[in-house]
């Protein structure tokens, strides 16, 4: 049972120019329901932050958006998720190209045990995006530049990716994600394993990436949500409690649960 | 919801927030007394409280700086959000207004000394007495409203500020008449003018404090808005409810 009966999300869960539309999404792990009837738009070129206490369903919801939950056998998703009006759970959908369109960056940087170059080139290669070697070089260079890593690694592209610092590894993972030219980037606590300087660099990068991509970020840091996002969605026990412009959420939240969470009264 | 959200997970955070509130109230109490004594010094002709007011003005200044420092520390250590953030910002703004009220009380005290015992036979005594009592009530009303999160009480203070402004205009007209009739009275009239002006300013600061009450409670920033706008924005229909 949801903790609040017949809850209707407060605020503005819908967007005028949606890139992703989730409608009445319910997620179950076996018998246990993890998400209750969540409807939310993610607008084009918007950064939306998903916040809430541990176990509130924010990561589960994020993982629905590129069908990462398919990898968990007991997980069942119902409802509708549309990417540019195409149902991503449609029967004919192949998840491999889907995950190229909706890329993901994880909590812990996870470069492949390959060179920096090959990490970034991996996606374009397997998705058959390139015909010539020169083209591949261009994609790798551009992706590393967009991820703000090029100047730090251009002289050692063939060194192992795992030899980079944590912050650099995370930017390498972002470069790997954008190398396949996604439309949406999902980030699941991308800075939780990083120091403040590396975090600041990633946050700056998120702001730059917004020009070309739509971004949904799960974060435990409320200051981070306040810094990087335009809208903030607050999840609580599997329900989407409130979605509002970020500046409003952190000064005058609409729902008392949002208020209690962001002021540190539980969590 | 049955959960209790009145307390933070961090007990120290509760203590710190409580401290700035209670220190602000203590400062408010002192400032209120300063104003009452200043009015008394003018209207009674007994200038003995004036020296005390001038001496205590330093205490008011010190309190402002100390409370503001506490607010800064909370911002740095806790990065407060939502109602906590509004509380810290409001306290920081309110102590500034309190400090300015203290300045005005001190100005009145200086004028009291300057005109000495002659004040009680001077002009506009009625207006000074009435406006003085009114602004004292406004200060305590605004602080009460802050303590009780009482939006209606705060709006009431703003309403009273309008009355004080009207009284002020009427008193000015009265003074001008005196000055026109007898140019020898201009020197004393100007002193009275400064006093009236100081009292009127105190009313404005009490109004500012009330606006912060509305900000803390409802999140609406009602500075520079009319009374009607203020009433609408302080009680929005879509107020946060469970």
User: Is the confidence at residue B118, as pLDDT, over 70?
Assistant: no
Identify which of A149, A187, A146, A192 has the alpha carbon closest to the alpha carbon of residue A168. Answer: A149
Whether A227 and chain B come into contact, CB under 8 Å, resolves to: no
Summarize pLDDT for A165-224 with one digit per residue, the tens.
999 999 999 999 999 999 999 999 999 988 999 899 999 999 999 999 999 999 999 999
User: Is the confidence at residue B90, as pLDDT, over 80?
Assistant: yes
User: Is the confidence at residue B99, as pLDDT, over 80?
Assistant: yes
Share of chain B above pLDDT 90, in %: 79
- Measure CB to CB from residue B8 to each of A222, A256, A263 and give the nearest one: A263
Weakest-pLDDT range from A40-49, A137-146, A241-250, B120-129 = B120-129
Round the average pLDDT of chain B to a whole number and report it: 91
Whether A24 and chain B come into contact, CB under 8 Å, resolves to: no
Class of residue A186 by CB neighbours under 10 A (exposed 0-12, middle 13-18, buried 19+):
buried
Q: Provide mean pLDDT across the span A9-20.
A: 96
Distance CA A20, CA A10 (A): 19
User: Is the confidence at residue A254, as pLDDT, over 50?
Assistant: yes
Q: Can you tell me which residue has the tokens 């100081």?
A: B198
Name the band, by pLDDT with cuts 50, 70 and 90, for residue B238: very low
Q: A interface mutation test: which of B16, B80, B82 has the most A CBs within 10 A? A: B82
Name the band, by pLDDT with cuts 50, 70 and 90, for residue A262: very high
User: Is the confidence at residue B120, as pLDDT, over 60?
Assistant: no
Class of residue A267 by CB neighbours under 10 A (exposed 0-12, middle 13-18, buried 19+):
middle
- Both structure tokens of B18: 């409580």
- Measure CB to CB from residue B79 to each of A223, A260, A265 and give the nearest one: A223
CB B105 within 8 Å of CB B35: yes
User: Is the confidence at residue A258, as pLDDT, over 60?
Assistant: yes
| CB-CB under 8 Å, B3 with A266 | yes
CA B25: distance to chain centroid? 12
Whether A252 and chain B come into contact, CB under 8 Å, resolves to: yes
Summarize pLDDT for A28-55 with one digit per residue, the tens.
999 999 999 999 999 999 999 999 999 9
CA distances from B42 to B55, B114, B121, B135, B201 (A): 17, 10, 10, 15, 17
CB atoms under 10 Å from CB of A142, counted, come to 16
| CB-CB under 8 Å, B1 with A256 | yes
Q: Which domains does chain A have, with CATH numbers?
A: 10-109+185-262 (3.40.50.300)
Angle at B24 between CA B197 and CA B130, to 5 degrees: 30
Class of residue A39 by CB neighbours under 10 A (exposed 0-12, middle 13-18, buried 19+):
middle
- Measure CB to CB from residue A263 to each of B3, B80, B218 and give the nearest one: B80
Whether B80 and chain A come into contact, CB under 8 Å, resolves to: yes
Distance CA B205, CA B95 (A): 10
Summarize pLDDT for A77-97 with one digit per residue, the tens.
999 999 999 999 999 999 999
Q: Provide mean pLDDT across the span B17-39.
A: 96
CB A180 within 8 Å of CB A124: yes
Distance CA A113, CA A134 (A): 23
State the pLDDT at residue B4. Answer: 65
Q: What is the distance in angstroms between the Cα of B148 and the nearest Cα belonging to chain A?
A: 19
Q: How many Cβ pairs within 8 Å bridge chains A and B? A: 59
Q: Which domains does chain B have, with CATH numbers?
A: 12-234 (1.20.58.220)
Task: Using an 8 Å CB-CB cutoff, list chain A residues near B219.
Answer: 251-252
Whether B121 and chain A come into contact, CB under 8 Å, resolves to: no
- Both structure tokens of A74: 């007991």
| CB-CB under 8 Å, A251 with B82 | yes
Distance CA B153, CA A202 (A): 47
- Both structure tokens of A76: 């069942």
Q: Is ipTM beyond 0.85?
A: no
User: Is the confidence at residue B240, as pLDDT, over 90?
Assistant: no
User: Is the confidence at residue A11, as pLDDT, over 80?
Assistant: yes
Q: Provide mean pLDDT across the span A136-141.
A: 96
- Measure CB to CB from residue A252 to each of B7, B219, B242 and give the nearest one: B219
State the pLDDT at residue B117. Answer: 59
- How many residues does the structure list for chain B? 242
| CB-CB under 8 Å, B83 with A263 | yes
Summarize pLDDT for B169-221 with one digit per residue, the tens.
999 999 999 999 999 889 889 999 999 999 999 999 999 999 999 999 999 99
Q: What is the distance in angstroms between the Cα of B218 and the nearest Cα belonging to chain A?
A: 8
State the pLDDT at residue B2. Answer: 45
DSSP H helical segments within chain A, as ranges? 58-64, 95-101, 116-126, 133-146, 150-153, 166-178, 196-209, 222-228, 246-251, 256-262
State the pLDDT at residue B239. Answer: 45
State the pLDDT at residue A250. Answer: 96
State the pLDDT at residue A221. Answer: 93
State the pLDDT at residue B124. Answer: 85
CA distances from B195 to B126, B127, B199 (A): 13, 11, 6
């Amino acid at each position: 049972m949801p903790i609040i009966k017949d809850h209707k999300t407060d605020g503005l869960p819908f967007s005028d120019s949606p890139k992703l539309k989730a409608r009445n999404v319910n997620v179950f792990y076996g018998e246990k329901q993890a998400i209750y009837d969540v409807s939310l738009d993610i607008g084009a070129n918007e950064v939306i932050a998903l916040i809430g206490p541990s176990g509130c369903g924010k990561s589960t919801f994020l993982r629905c958006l590129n069908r990462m939950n398919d990898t968990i056998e007991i997980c069942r998703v119902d409802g509708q998720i549309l990417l540019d009006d195409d149902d991503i759970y449609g029967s004919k959908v192949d998840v491999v190209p889907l995950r190229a369109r909706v890329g993901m960056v994880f909590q812990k940087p996870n470069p492949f045990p390959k060179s920096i170059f090959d990490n970034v080139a991996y996606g374009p290669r397997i998705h058959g995006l390139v015909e010539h070697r020169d083209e591949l070089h261009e994609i790798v260079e551009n992706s590393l530049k967009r991820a703000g890593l090029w100047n730090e690694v251009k002289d050692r592209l063939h060194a192992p990716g795992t030899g980079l610092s944590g912050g650099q590894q995370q930017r390498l993972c972002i470069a790997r994600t954008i190398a396949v030219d996604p439309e949406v980037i999902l980030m699941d606590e991308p800075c939780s394993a990083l120091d403040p300087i590396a975090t600041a660099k990633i946050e700056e990068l998120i702001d730059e990436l917004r020009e070309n991509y739509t971004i949904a970020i799960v974060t435990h840091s409320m200051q981070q949500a306040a810094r990087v996002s335009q809208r903030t969605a607050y999840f609580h026990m599997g329900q989407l409690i409130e979605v509002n412009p970020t500046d409003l959420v952190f000064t005058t939240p609409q729902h008392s649960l949002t208020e209690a969470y962001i002021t540190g009264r539980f969590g | 919801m049955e959960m209790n959200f009145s307390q933070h997970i961090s007990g120290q955070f509760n203590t710190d927030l409580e401290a700035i509130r209670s220190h602000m109230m203590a400062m408010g109490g002192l400032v209120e007394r300063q104003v009452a004594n200043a009015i008394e010094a003018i209207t009674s002709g007994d200038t003995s409280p004036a020296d005390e007011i001038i001496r205590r003005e330093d205490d008011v200044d010190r309190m402002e700086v100390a409370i503001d420092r506490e607010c800064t520390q909370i911002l740095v250590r806790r990065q407060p959000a939502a109602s906590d953030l509004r509380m810290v910002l409001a306290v920081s703004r309110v102590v500034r207004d309190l400090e300015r009220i203290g300045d005005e009380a001190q100005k009145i005290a200086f004028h009291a000394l300057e005109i000495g015992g002659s004040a009680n036979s001077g002009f506009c005594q009625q207006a000074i007495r009435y406006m003085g009592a009114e602004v004292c009530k406004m200060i305590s009303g605004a602080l009460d409203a802050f303590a009780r999160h009482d939006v209606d009480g705060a709006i009431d203070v703003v309403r009273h500020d309008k009355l004080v402004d009207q009284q002020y205009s009427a008193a000015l007209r009265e003074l001008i008449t005196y000055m026109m009739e007898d140019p020898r009275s201009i020197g004393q009239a100007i002193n009275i003018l400064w006093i009236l002006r100081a009292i009127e300013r105190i009313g404005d600061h009490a109004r500012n404090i009330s606006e912060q009450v509305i900000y803390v409670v409802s999140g609406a920033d009602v500075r520079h808005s009319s009374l009607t706008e203020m009433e609408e924005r302080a009680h929005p229909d879509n107020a946060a409810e469970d």
